[in-house]
C-alpha cells in the first residue's frame, strides 16, 4: 500500500491518480491536512485527514493500512518560507523526521521525499550544477531541503531504511496551482495569458531557472520509486526537464497568443531565484535509474495552453 502525504498539493494532485491507475485505487491512500480534496480525488480512492506533525496518528495510519511506500510532499515552499521561516522549519523538518521514524519502526519499505534545486545556493556552480557539490542555500526552504537530504542519508546508513529523493526544479502543471513557490510565475503566466492576455512577472526577463513539466515529474516520482535498489549508488538525485528565461517563456506563449503582453516587476523572489542554479546536470539519474524527460518548452506550452484553454474558457 502507498501513502501520499500532502496529496492535495501541486505534485500530489497529479501523482495520486497516476499511482491509482498503476497500482489500483485502494492501494493508494491520499492524505491532506488543510486544503479540501477535490471531488475527483475524494471519490477516486481512500482519502483521510492526516497531520504529519502528529506522529501518533501517522503511526496508526501506517500500521493499520500496512503501508509499504510513503511519498512525503507536505512542505512550506521557498517564498512562503521566507515569510515564516520558523514555521517552515517546523513543518518541513518535524513532519519529515516523523515519517522517517515511523517508517523505520513500522517496516515501511521505501520513502520518497522531494528535495529541490533550492538545496543549492550562490556558492554552488550555477551552470550544469553537479549532483555532488556545495550546498549552502540562503533560504529557510533550502536549509530544510539540505537538512532533509542529510536525514534521509542518516536513516539509510544507520537503519537501512530505503530513502530516495530527487532535487526537483520548478514544476509546471495545469491541475493544481503551486502554493508559495518562487517558480510559481511559470505556472501563473499560462493562466493569465489565457484569461487576461497579459501578465506581470515577479522575476526579471533574463532570469533563467531549471523547470520540469508535471508529466515528467510523475514519471520521475514513479521511476525512482520503482528503481531496483541494487542499481542505486546515490539517495539524492538531480533531475531536470529544461531551462528557460522568463522572456523565453513569454515568447513561446506569444507564438500561440500573439496579443499576449508581459511586463516585469521583480519582488523579493528575485533574490531567491538568483541564488539557484540556471541549469542542472542530471546525468547520475540518467545513469542509475534511466531518468529521461520527454517535454521541452515548446511541447509543454502547447499542452498547457490546450488543457487550460478548455478549462478556463468554459
Ligand atoms: C519553489 N516550486 O518554488 C518550489 C521549488 C525549485 C522550486 O522548490 O519553492
pLDDT at 313 (0 to 100): 79
The C-alpha cell that represents 293 in the structure block: 524527460
Ligand 1 atom nearest to CA at 117: 6
Cα of 180 vs centre of ligand 1, distance in Å, is: 8
Cell 494532485 sits on residue: 13
Separation CA 267–CA 223 (nearest Å): 36
292 three-state secondary structure: coil
Residue pLDDT, tens place only, 211-241: 999 999 999 999 999 999 999 999 999 999 9
For residue 242, the model assigns a pLDDT of 98
CA–CA separation, 4 vs 84, rounded Å? 25
pLDDT (0 to 100) of residue 178: 85
Ligand 1 environment, Cβ below 6 A: 77-78, 116-118, 141, 168-171, 178, 181-183
| Complex prediction ipTM | 0.97
Instruction: Characterize the bridge pairing of strands 198-201 and 163-168.
Output: unpaired
* Nearest protein CA to atom 5 of ligand 1, as residue: 170
Q: Cα angle at 111 between 105 and 117, to 5 degrees? A: 135
171: closest CA among 209, 128, 124? 209
Q: Which of 53, 49, 57, 3 is nearest to 28 (CA)?
A: 3
Q: Which residue numbers in the chain have pLDDT < 50?
A: none
| Res 314: pLDDT | 54
- Check residue 288 and give its pLDDT: 98
Instruction: Confirm whether 23 is a catalytic residue.
Output: no
CA–CA dist 306, 314 (Å, integer):
13
Q: What are phi and psi of 73, to 5 degrees?
A: -105, -15
Which of 10, 75, 76, 78 is the best mutation target for the ligand 1 pocket, counting ligand atoms within 8 Å of the beta carbon and taking the most?
78
- Please state, in angstroms and rounded to a whole number, the distance separating the CA atoms of residues 9 and 175: 10
Task: Report the distance separating Cα 238 and Cα 141, nearest Å.
Answer: 17
* Cα(98) to centroid(ligand 1), Å: 23
Q: Which pLDDT does position 229 carry in this prediction?
A: 95
**Dist CA 130 CA 126 (whole Å):** 9
pLDDT tens for each residue of 239-276: 999 999 999 999 999 999 999 999 999 999 999 999 99
Q: Nearest 5°: CA angle at 115, between 132 and 295?
A: 90
Atom of ligand 1 nearest to the CA of 141: 9
Catalytic entry in 23, 71, 106, 141: 141
Q: 3-class SS at 170?
A: strand
Find the 314 Cα to ligand 1 centroid distance in Å: 30
181 CA distance to ligand 1 middle (Å):
5
Ligand 1 pocket, mutate which of 6, 170, 244, 272 (most atoms under 8 A from CB): 170
Contact 52, 99 (CB under 8 A): yes
Beta-carbon contacts of 116 under 8 Å, excluding residues fewer than 6 positions away, are 78, 141, 142, 145, 167, 168, 169
Q: Which of 168, 185, 186 best tests ligand 1's pocket when mutated (most atoms within 8 Å of CB)?
A: 168
Q: Tell me phi and psi for residue 154, to 5 degrees.
A: -65, -45
**CA nearest ligand 1 atom 7, residue:** 170
Amino acid at each position: 500500500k502507498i501513502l501520499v502525504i500532502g496529496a492535495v498539493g501541486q505534485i500530489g494532485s497529479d501523482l495520486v491518480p497516476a499511482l491509482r491507475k498503476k497500482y489500483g485505487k485502494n492501494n493508494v491512500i491520499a492524505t491532506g491536512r488543510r486544503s479540501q480534496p477535490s471531488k475527483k480525488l475524494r471519490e477516486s480512492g481512500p482519502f483521510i485527514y492526516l497531520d504529519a506533525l502528529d506522529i501518533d496518528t501517522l503511526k496508526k495510519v501506517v500500521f493499520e493500512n500496512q503501508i509499504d511506500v510513503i511519498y512525503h510532499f507536505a512542505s512550506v515552499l521557498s517564498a512562503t518560507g521566507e515569510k515564516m521561516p520558523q514555521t517552515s522549519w517546523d513543518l518541513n523538518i518535524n513532519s519529515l523526521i516523523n515519517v522517517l521514524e515511523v517508517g523505520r519502526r513500522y517496516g515501511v519499505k521505501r520513502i520518497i521525499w522531494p528535495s529541490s534545486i533550492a538545496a543549492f545556493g550562490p556558492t554552488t556552480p550555477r551552470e550544469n550544477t553537479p549532483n555532488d557539490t556545495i550546498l549552502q542555500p540562503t533560504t529557510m526552504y533550502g536549509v530544510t531541503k539540505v537538512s532533509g537530504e542529510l536525514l534521509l542519508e542518516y536513516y539509510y546508513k544507520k537503519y537501512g531504511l530505503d530513502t530516495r529523493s530527487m532535487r526537483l526544479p520548478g514544476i509546471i502543471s495545469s491541475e493544481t496551482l503551486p502554493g508559495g513557490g518562487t517558480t510559481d510565475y511559470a505556472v501563473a503566466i499560462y493562466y493569465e495569458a489565457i484569461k487576461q492576455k497579459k501578465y506581470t512577472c515577479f522575476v526579471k526577463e533574463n532570469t533563467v531557472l531549471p523547470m520540469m513539466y508535471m508529466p515528467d515529474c510523475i514519471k520521475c516520482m514513479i521511476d525512482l520509486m520503482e528503481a531496483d535498489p541494487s542499481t542505486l549508488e546515490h539517495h539524492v538525485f538531480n533531475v531536470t526537464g529544461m531551462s528557460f528565461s522568463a522572456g523565453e517563456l513569454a515568447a513561446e506563449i506569444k507564438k500561440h497568443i500573439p496579443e499576449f503582453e508581459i511586463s516585469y516587476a521583480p519582488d523579493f523572489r528575485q533574490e531567491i531565484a538568483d541564488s539557484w542554479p540556471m541549469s542542472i546536470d542530471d546525468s547520475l539519474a540518467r545513469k542509475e535509474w534511466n531518468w529521461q524527460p520527454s517535454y521541452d518548452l515548446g511541447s509543454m506550452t502547447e499542452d498547457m495552453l490546450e488543457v487550460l484553454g478548455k478549462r478556463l474558457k468554459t
